[in-house]
Amino acid sequence: MHKSYIRRFHANEIFHRIRIEPQISQRDIIARTGFDKSTVSSIVNRFDELGLIRRSSNGPGSKRGRPAEGLSISPDKGLLIGVQVERTALSFVISALDGQPLVTQQQRFDGGVGKLDTLIARGIAKVRAACDRPGEILGVGVSLPGLVTDEGLLVHAPIVGWHDVPVFDLLSSKVHYPLFIGNDVKAAAMAEHMFGDCVDEDDFIYLFSGSGVGGALFLGGEMYGGATGLAGELGHVKVVPQGRPCSCGSYGCLSAYVAGYAMTSEVQHLGIEGVSEFGDVLKQAAGGNLVVLDVLNRAALMLGAGIANFINIFNPPLVMLGGDLARAEAYLRPATEQEARRLAHPSMFAQTRITFSKISASKSYLGGVALALDGVTGLDASHVLP
């Protein structure tokens, strides 16, 4: 591994510990992370110089009676901006360093790449103006609905029809803050690790359903990117040989059965009236429509099969399901768990929790904030995250 990369990983992990355990001592950071003393102390000093943390007396701590020093995140230092690009909307959220959203704004978007840089620069200025908390913008994170390489090239985003767009270069001419860009699902998984139900997990598999199904592999305390940062397209594992065509150009992908739009269009094809989006599907299910419940049940079987594969490959302690999957938890959970149990290796299934995300259904757009926070606390300049 590259030296600066290792430092980045250490820095992120140390900041994470301080964030989730306010008043933690350096000694406890060393104990929790297993990093050596000089690494922890040099990174903590750097955070201190940047004003990202504050030190305070923690009362008597050590055996020699010296007060142990507690470290906490500076609540008033600096702001982060998260931007989420979707097919029909651009969302902006401004937050403090602790990830608490302060102002959220959304504007319509026509999906054209031509004005993306101008619209994002304008949206950032607007959300900053709407936030009355003083402070410098430390970083901007932009989450994109497609495959993003380590170089900041958006390779393919079927939802908006973009191919080979150099988003990082495009935006860096208009956005004059440290800029961090990445895939929306991986950003959402990172948000789960920073602010959600995975804060104490070093390993989890994340699946997010929306316009398509994306995935992320969070392994050994970090996002696994593979050779070029594109790894983790879990929505495109094949669950049915010669199955349904998928938006990725292939056939029989999990996404073609369990994406919110896939379940919605199946319900429409079965002649159920008044269904134009996934929320309508959920309303019908809540009203006990048997046709709709059957569609959701069959989707759950596909989901369970996909999860069984992930369990067998990664032996993960946790599989987290977000987006439309989380919204439909009540209808999906029983059959999903049953099918995963039936198909996965029993001893591995027994060690895996399958959980539905709480924060992803709430639309707080924390993915971009997670990218920005990860970038800022990684102590690097602007860059691209897998």
Q: Which parts of this chain interact with Zn ion (CB under 5 A)?
A: 236, 246, 248, 250, 253
What's the closest the beta carbon of residue 164 comes to Zn ion, in angstroms?
A: 19
Asked about 28 being catalytic, the answer comes back as no
- Closest alpha carbon to 356 in 194, 198, 182, 146: 198
Choice between 52 and 237, CB closer to Zn ion:
237
Least gap, CB of 234 to Zn ion (angstroms): 10
Shortest Cβ distance from residue 248 to Zn ion (Å)? 3
Give the 3-state secondary structure of residue 87.
coil
Coil, strand or helix: which one is 234?
Answer: helix
Q: Which is nearer to Zn ion, 17 or 236 (CB)?
A: 236
What is the smallest separation between the CB atom of 264 and Zn ion, expressed in angstroms? 17
Give CA 226 to chain center in angstroms: 17
For Zn ion, the closer CB: 186 or 236: 236
Residue labelled with tokens 């924060």? 359
Cβ-based nearer residue to Zn ion, 113 or 248 = 248
Please tell me which residue in 150, 164, 169, 184 is annotated as part of the active site: 184
**Are 148 and 155 in contact, with CB atoms under 8 Å apart?**
yes
Rg (alpha carbons) of the chain, rounded to whole number: 22
* One-character DSSP codes across 31-48: HHH---HHHHHHHHHHHH
Are 58 and 22 contacting, i.e. CB atoms less than 8 angstroms apart?
no
Query: Measured from the CB of residue 252, what is the shortest distance to Zn ion in angstroms?
Result: 8
Q: At 238, which amino acid appears?
A: K
- Residues 208, 197: Cα–Cα separation, whole Å: 15
Q: Collapsing DSSP states into helix, strand and coil, what is residue 137? A: strand
CA distances from 151 to 165, 181, 218, 263 (A): 11, 10, 20, 34
End-to-end CA distance of the chain: give it in Å, rounded: 16
- Sequence-distant (6+) residues with CB within 8 A of 132 are none
CB of 265 vs Zn ion, minimal distance in Å: 15
> In the complex with Zn ion, which residue's Cβ is closer, 215 or 229?
215
**Structural contact between residues 10 and 38, judged by C-beta atoms closer than 8 angstroms:** no
Cβ closest to Zn ion, residue 11 vs residue 259: 259
- Report the catalytic residues: 184
